[in-house]
């Protein structure tokens, strides 16, 4: 929109299985297979929280917005992963998801000044996440070379101090509950995430405004039931803390409203 077209996105979708923690021990390091023309191949990997993640495959797609999983794609992930770890029990899958790689017709990240005032960071395909800090530094360098005045922030947020209730000792738990009783109410039972941690997330410097946003900050809904139990409670807390109408709260992106309308209304009782 701001410059002449220099590249074309050629998206490819990758499906994943996220397994319950009971499968977490099936790999004790990230298991890669030999990369092919489709990319780095299907991985079996323990996650930092102790789950097992399996995937992704690579399927060329015309529509970059279609991030639905498919049974064919998931079957392909299973078959490929079996070469690394044959005994994964897929009955313990707790979530499937897919993502779209921003591949382009240029075999690299695309980082350039598209015009005098616009830096393009495009086609940030894999391993774009790993590369993000370096890309950020490069972006600052290019922008400053192109006239951006860099002023030092007076009050930068340098730390993210968070209470992880389940990681505290018994005496620390007692102390935080005494200070704030909300730490004494467990909202997410699978992951032991308390109301205090969720409220902290809602009031953090860049506040999350959806149920999945809170999940990413506080960890509620990450467990075996995937938010089946805590989801409605998180929604209530988010509405209470932000003043939002519960009907307007989203699960994640636009169009993902959780509640559509009230089903029961209290009617005034008039004695005959």
Ligand X SMILES: Cc1cc2nc3c(=O)[nH]c(=O)nc-3n(C[C@H](O)[C@H](O)[C@H](O)COP(=O)(O)OP(=O)(O)OC[C@H]3O[C@@H](n4cnc5c(N)ncnc54)[C@H](O)[C@@H]3O)c2cc1C
Q: Which residue has the CB atom at the shortest distance from ligand X?
A: 128
CB of 97 to ligand X, least distance (A): 9
CB of 99 to ligand X, least distance (A): 3
Three-class secondary structure of residue 248 per DSSP: helix
Q: Give whichever of 41 and 196 is closer to ligand X, judged by the CB atom.
A: 41
Cβ contact 176:164 at 8 Å: no
Applying CB under 6 A, which residues contact ligand X?
A: 14, 56, 99-101, 124-130
CB of 131 to ligand X, least distance (A): 6
Would you mind telling me the total number of residues written for the chain in this entry? 272
Where would I find the beta strands (DSSP E) of the chain?
12-19, 43-46, 52-55, 59-60, 93-101, 110-115, 118-122, 186-188, 193-194
Q: Give whichever of 52 and 237 is closer to ligand X, judged by the CB atom.
A: 52
Q: Give whichever of 22 and 30 is closer to ligand X, judged by the CB atom.
A: 30
Nearest to 231 by CA among 254, 208, 258: 258
Q: Give whichever of 8 and 172 is closer to ligand X, judged by the CB atom.
A: 8
CB of 243 to ligand X, least distance (A): 23
Name every residue whose Cβ is closer than 8 Å to that of residue 192 and which is 6 or more positions away in sequence. Answer: 165, 166, 186
Q: Give whichever of 125 and 230 is closer to ligand X, judged by the CB atom.
A: 125
CB of 263 to ligand X, least distance (A): 31
Q: How far apart are CA 112 and CA 244, in angstroms?
A: 40
């Amino acid at each position: 929109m701001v410059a002449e077209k220099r590249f074309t996105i050629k998206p490819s979708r990758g499906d994943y299985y996220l397994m319950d923690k009971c499968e977490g021990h099936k790999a004790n390091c990230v298991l890669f297979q030999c990369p092919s023309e489709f990319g780095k191949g299907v991985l079996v990997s323990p996650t930092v929280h102790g789950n097992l993640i399996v995937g992704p495959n690579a399927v060329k797609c015309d529509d970059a917005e279609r991030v639905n999983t498919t049974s064919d794609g998931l079957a392909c992930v299973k078959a490929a992963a079996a070469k690394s770890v044959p005994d994964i029990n897929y009955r313990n899958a707790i979530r499937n998801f897919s993502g779209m790689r921003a591949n382009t017709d240029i075999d690299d990240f695309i980082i350039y000044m598209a015009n005098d005032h616009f830096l393009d960071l495009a086609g940030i395909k894999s391993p774009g996440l790993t590369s993000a800090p370096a890309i950020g530094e490069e972006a600052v360098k290019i922008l400053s070379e192109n006239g951006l005045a860099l002023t030092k922030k007076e009050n930068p947020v340098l730390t993210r101090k968070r209470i992880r209730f389940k990681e505290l000792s018994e005496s620390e738990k007692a102390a935080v509950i005494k200070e704030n009783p909300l730490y004494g109410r467990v909202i997410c039972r699978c992951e032991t995430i308390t109301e205090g941690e969720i409220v902290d997330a809602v009031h953090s410097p860049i506040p999350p405004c959806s149920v999945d946003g809170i999940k990413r900050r506080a960890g509620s809904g990450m467990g075996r039931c995937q938010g089946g139990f805590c989801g409605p409670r998180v929604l209530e807390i988010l509405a209470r803390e932000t003043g939002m109408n519960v009907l307007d709260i989203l699960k994640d992106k636009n169009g993902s409203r959780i509640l559509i309308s009230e089903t029961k209304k209290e009617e005034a009782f008039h004695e005959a």
